[in-house]
Amino acid sequence: MELVARQRSFGGWQSRYKHRSEVLNCDMIFAIYLPPQAEKGPVPVLWWLSGLTCNDENFVTKAGAQRLAARLGMAIVCPDTSPRGTDLPGEHESYDFGSGAGFYVNATEAPWASHYRMYDYVVSELPALVREHFPVSEREAISGHSMGGHGALVCALKNPGRYDSVSAFAPIVNPADCDWGIKAFTGYLGEDRSAWLAWDTCALVAEGKSRQPLLVDQGLADNFLDSQLHPERLEKVCAEHDHPLQLRRHEHYDHSYFFIASLIDDHLRYHARHLGLAGEAQQPA
């Protein structure tokens, strides 16, 4: 790995690293925050998956998570949102497909299948790399925003027992039936809509293989609420299948990082309780 940048933050280190991904067949950059407790031994890790047009830096610079993560003793890893540098035909033509829009699926259609396997990257390859090089423990949680919220929920539901907790901000919960998802899934997965259901939160809940409790926060002033996000669909399917869901709606909040920054401490504390870190919450870094 190549160190790209490193800054001291609340007694810990915020860093970016570049590495060669065999899964994605390209070079990738990810960000990692290591709290001061990591200097004494392994710490639990929160995986953060970002949304459309983002990369590994958006959460790091806008969410303001480092202060509380340092107090809790929690590492945070932020992958990029798609392969980079592949320059496939049409890859850079729109914000909701290709660059910055990997949707955390394993593509099956050419030419995307040779690079766009973001699910395998965030579930397998990157965790193995992080554990090889950094003092993080086996305990882990996952969260994300919008497309990344979709990714976090799907990763957790497809891997029962893997993550101690999962949460999402304004997730795309039913991508098999919204414009963003239909465009991405058609390109990455093909025309057979039955194949899409393996990457759809509502469908995975209905399938019933996981009982992973879900925490979802949704702003009611979100421009994409009715056209792309459809939290009421997740609410309905969870009620029908008695799946644990805490869906919290917030007046006046939109889709931006102002929303995430307003509630990120609440999510970090939620994950800390499940990761066994609650007793550290009041201790200074």
pLDDT higher than threshold 80 for residue 281: no
Mean pLDDT is lowest, of 62-76, 100-114, 267-281, for 267-281
Region 32-36 average pLDDT = 98
Work out the percent of the chain whose per-residue pLDDT is above 70.
97
pTM greater than 0.85 (yes/no): yes
Residues that are catalytic:
146, 222, 255
SS (H, E, C) the chain: CEEEEEEEECCEEEEEEEEEECCCCEEEEEEEEECHHHHCCCEEEEEEECCCCCCCHHHHHHCCCHHHHHHHCCEEEECCCCCCCCCCCCCCCECCEECCECCCCECCCCCHHHCCEHHHHHHHHHHHHHHHHCCEEEEEEEEEECHHHHHHHHHHHHCCCCCCEEEEECCCCCHHHCHHHHHHHHHHHCCCHHHHHHHCHHHHHHHCCCCCCEEEEEECCCCCHHHHHCHHHHHHHHHHCCCCEEEEEECCCCCCHHHHHHHHHHHHHHHHHHCCCHHHCCCCC
Region 103-132 average pLDDT = 98
What confidence score (pLDDT) does residue 277 get?
94
Name the average pLDDT for the chain.
96
What confidence score (pLDDT) does residue 279 get?
56
pLDDT higher than threshold 80 for residue 266: yes
